[in-house]
Amino acid sequence: MNLKDALEKAFAAQDKPLPAPDEAERNRVLTLQRGKGQVHQVAVTYGESQGRWPRPRKSRVDKAIQTGKSRVLGLAAKDSSPSDSDNSKTVAVPIKIAVPKPQKPLQMSPAVPLKRTPKVLLTDEAKFLISESDNLSPLRLLALDLTAGCKESSHQIANPEIHELALGLDFGTSTVKVVIGDLSSDKSYAVPFLKVAGLDAYLLPSRVYESTAVSAGACGFSLQSGEFAFRDLKLSLLASPDSIDRQVEVIAFLSLVIKRARAWFFHTHRTIYNRVKCLWQLRIGLPAATTLENKFVPLLEGILRAAWQVASYEGTPERTRLLQIRTKAFNERMDEDDPEIRVIPEIAAQIYGFVVSSSFDKKAANRYLMVDVGAGTVDASLFKVFPGRGGQWHFEFYTAVVQPYGVANLHAHRIDWWLSNLVGVADGGSLIEALRANKFVTDFSSRLPEHNRNYFSGVHFHVGDPDHADAEFFDKKLMSQVQGSTLWRAVNDGFLSKEDMKGIPMFLCGGGSRSSFYLDLENKLQRMPGYSWLSTEPWQLGFPQDLEVDGVDEGDFDRLSVAYGLSKVNVGKVTQALPLPKVPIEPQESFTHRYVDKDQM
Q: Per-residue pLDDT tens for 298-321?
A: 999 999 999 999 999 988 999 999
Q: What is the pLDDT of residue 488?
A: 93
Higher pLDDT, 19 or 248: 248
74-78, 238-242, 442-446: segment of lowest average pLDDT: 74-78
Q: Can you say how many angstroms the Cα of residue 580 is from the centroid of all Cα atoms in its chain?
A: 32
Mean predicted confidence (pLDDT) in 547-551: 93
The residues near 434 (Cβ < 8 Å, ≥ 6 apart) are 128, 131
Q: How many residues does the chain have?
A: 601
How far apart (Å, rounded) are the C-alpha atoms in residues 442 and 411? 9
Q: What is the pLDDT of residue 60?
A: 54
3-state helix, strand, coil in the chain (%, to 5): 35, 20, 45
Is the per-residue pLDDT at 176 higher than 50?
yes
- For 158, list phi and psi in degrees, rounded to 5: -75, -45
Q: Pick from 281, 272, 271: which is nearest to 152 by CA?
A: 281
Number of Cβ atoms within 10 Å of the Cβ of 469: 22
Q: What are 374-415's pLDDT values in tens digits?
A: 988 999 999 999 998 888 899 999 999 999 999 999 999 999
Q: What is the pLDDT of residue 77?
A: 42
Q: Pick from 322, 153, 177: which is nearest to 247 by CA?
A: 322
Q: Can you say how many angstroms the Cα of residue 526 is from the centroid of all Cα atoms in its chain?
A: 24
The average confidence (pLDDT) of the chain is 82
Mean predicted confidence (pLDDT) in 490-508: 94
* DSSP result, 349-383: HHTHHHHTSTT--TTS--EEEEEEE-SS-EEEEEE
Q: What is the pLDDT of residue 342?
A: 92
Convert 32-66 to b/e letters by CB count within 10 Å (16 or more is b): eeeeeeeeeeeeeeeeeeeeeeeeeeeeeeeebbe
Could you tell me if 22 and 56 are in contact, meaning their C-beta atoms sit under 8 angstroms apart?
A: no
Is the per-residue pLDDT at 71 higher than 50?
no
Beta strands, E only, 338-496: 340-345, 367-373, 378-387, 393-403, 456-461
Question: For residue 114, what pLDDT band results from cuts at 50, 70 and 90?
Answer: very low
Number of Cβ atoms within 10 Å of the Cβ of 384: 17
How far apart (Å, rounded) are the C-alpha atoms in residues 317 and 251? 10
How far apart (Å, rounded) are the C-alpha atoms in residues 272 and 293? 41
Q: How many CA atoms lie within 13 A of 416 on its CB side?
A: 12
DSSP lists the bridge partners of residue 30 as: 42
What residues does each domain of the chain span? 3-70, 148-408+471-576
Kindly give the residue spans of alpha helices, DSSP state H, lying in 242-388: 244-268, 270-273, 288-293, 297-311, 319-331, 346-350, 352-355
- For 341, list phi and psi in degrees, rounded to 5: -115, 130
Higher pLDDT, 272 or 99: 272
Dihedral through CA 505, CA 508, CA 509, CA 515, nearest 10? Answer: -160
Q: Can you say how many angstroms the Cα of residue 191 is from the centroid of all Cα atoms in its chain?
A: 34
Give me the percent of the chain exceeding a pLDDT of 70.
76
Q: How many CA atoms lie within 13 A of 179 on its CB side?
A: 31
Number of Cβ atoms within 10 Å of the Cβ of 89: 7
